[in-house]
Amino acid sequence: MRFPLSVPLTGGALDRAAQLRPDPAALSALASADLARLLPLWRGKAPIDLSDSAGPRLAWIPMSEDILKISAEAAVFLGRALDEGDQLPARFAADISSVEEENLPEIASRFGGAVKFIDLRSIASELPATEPAVWAEAKSLLEWHANHRKCSRCGATSQSSEGGWRRDCGACGGKHFPRTDPVVIMLVVHRGDDGLERVLIGRQPNWPPRMHSLLAGYIEPGETVEEAVRRETWEEAGVKVDEVGYLASQPWPFPSTLMIGCWGRAMNADLTVDQHELETARWADKAEMRAALAGEHPVFDAPRRDAIARVLTEAWATDQLMLL
């Protein structure tokens, strides 16, 4: 059985309005409109309004010139807000990472109310459902600009264009676009002789204590999604996979990847763990995974709540996904 999965960091309430990006006059008019708003990010953290009794939410500010002067480059155009009636006001983002940390409270005070700059991963699950995706878009785009100010063809300084969705090199004429790196993340399942289904999970040594997740890895040049699933599972755990299928995807802005959620049918259960990639790996049946999801397993914890790995393992453990 297949069904639409609700994945964190997706479903943002913005029309990206890509047709407006090549039109500087149109973007300027949108930016100068009364309802245009800016999301300034400080080292990836966003301003969060903590004063609303309904819960935290992103704090937007008018397109203030003094805020924009702090940014190293022009604001990037995120799109037009779909949740504000027929006016579709524009939404922009700017990087203010040059601000010293001790000066952040003064920046936050310009929003009014109780605003604090917070990391996405620590609060995404508490925000309104449509907001983390907007934050992820802004974070990925701004970090791409911060890391690609030089032309990769000739080394000259490039300039932001098309509302921040391209960088142009005046020296060699090169045009550069934001990149997203594809990553496969695998719900690899095996049915044992006892009739129980088990999922393959592992942990990396730098993760929080006890946390386990699904295996994952970058897709290499000249490789299909299916081939990457099989290669990564074999390299990291010594498990052969035959059938592979797609389940769901998630943009993951740390820094900028697309997590392609797949399932795979394991042909063997014995494990040979690559200690350079994983600290450990194991098989977990549905009862064990349900206990981990509830925080009650004696040995390991489930994947983090904002990750697609948790969505996939929970769907499998609660019989919403019937794979074998």
- Domain residues of the chain, as ranges? 14-149, 181-317
Which pLDDT score is estimated for 273?
97
Which pLDDT score is estimated for 208?
94
Which pLDDT score is estimated for 125?
87
CATH topology match: 14-149 vs 181-317? yes
261 closest CA partner among 211, 301, 311: 311
User: What is the rounded CA–CA span in Å between residue 297 and residue 64?
Assistant: 50
Q: Radius of gyration (Cα) for the chain, nearest Å?
A: 22
pTM given for the model: 0.93
At 302, which amino acid appears?
A
Which pLDDT score is estimated for 1?
47
CATH fold label, 14-149: Nucleoside Triphosphate Pyrophosphohydrolase (3.90.79)
Residues of the chain with pLDDT under 70: 1-3, 84-86
Which pLDDT score is estimated for 87?
74
Which pLDDT score is estimated for 217?
98
Pull the structure tokens for residue 117: 């700059």
User: What is the rounded CA–CA span in Å between residue 280 and residue 287?
Assistant: 20
Secondary element (H or E) of residue 27: helix 24-32
Other CB atoms within 10 Å distance of the CB of residue 53: 4
User: What is the CATH superfamily name and number for domain 181-317?
Assistant: Nucleoside Triphosphate Pyrophosphohydrolase (3.90.79.10)
Left (φ > 0), alpha (ψ -120 to 50) or beta: where does 153 sit? alpha
Which pLDDT score is estimated for 113?
78
Estimate the crossing angle of helix 308-317 against helix 286-293, to 10 degrees.
130
**Residue 148, SS3?**
coil
Whether 316 and 323 have beta carbons less than 8 Å apart is answered as yes
